[in-house]
Amino acid sequence: MKKPNAANVSSFENKFFVLLLLVVSLGFLWVLSPFYGAVFWGAVFAIVFAPLHARLLRVMPTRRTLTATLALLFILLLVIFPLGLLSALLVQESGVVFQRLQTGELNFSLYFQQIYEALPGWVTGLLGRFGLTDMALVQERIAVSLTQGSQFFA
């Protein structure tokens, strides 16, 4: 019986190790797939606020947990809470706009007609070249787009 060549065994072990590493890495990515957004934003905040944490560590070198907590509170108070509040207000206002569109209280066709009438002659000529002189059709397209956009937020 032949003895296995040390180079062949080493090559086989390396290939098997790389394959195993690839399979485990793909499994890890699959497990983390629901959390990609959170991991991404966590990495962004970690990179952006690393200088703050480093400065706090220079001020309090023996209090690592306290500096990390202060940096986290800083991120929460100056980024996360205002962004959440702004998002909630945006959703609320888009719902109000959607309701006003549905009830007819907000009439974009009237606004578009007033804008079209106020345009200079050279602009209306340019719109005519592009076939945008039928304001009723343009208004309908824009109104449909705005309604669909507001439904997305509502």
Q: How do residues 88-127 score in pLDDT, each as one tens digit?
A: 999 999 888 888 878 878 777 778 778 878 888 888 888 8
Whether the Cβ atoms of residue 131 and residue 76 lie closer than 8 Å to each other: no
Q: How do residues 6-59 score in pLDDT, each as one tens digit?
A: 566 678 888 999 999 999 999 999 998 999 999 999 999 999 999 999 999 999
Which one, of 58, 39, 50, 40, lies nearest residue 75 by Cα? Answer: 50
Matching residue, tokens 């952006």: 48
- This prediction has a pTM of 0.53
CA 3, 6, 9, 10: dihedral to nearest 10 degrees?
Answer: 170
Give the list of residues 6+ apart from residue 147 with CB closer than 8 angstroms, or none. Answer: 98, 101
The pLDDT assigned to 153 comes to 61
Bigger pLDDT: 152 or 33? 33
Tokens in use for 107? 């009439």
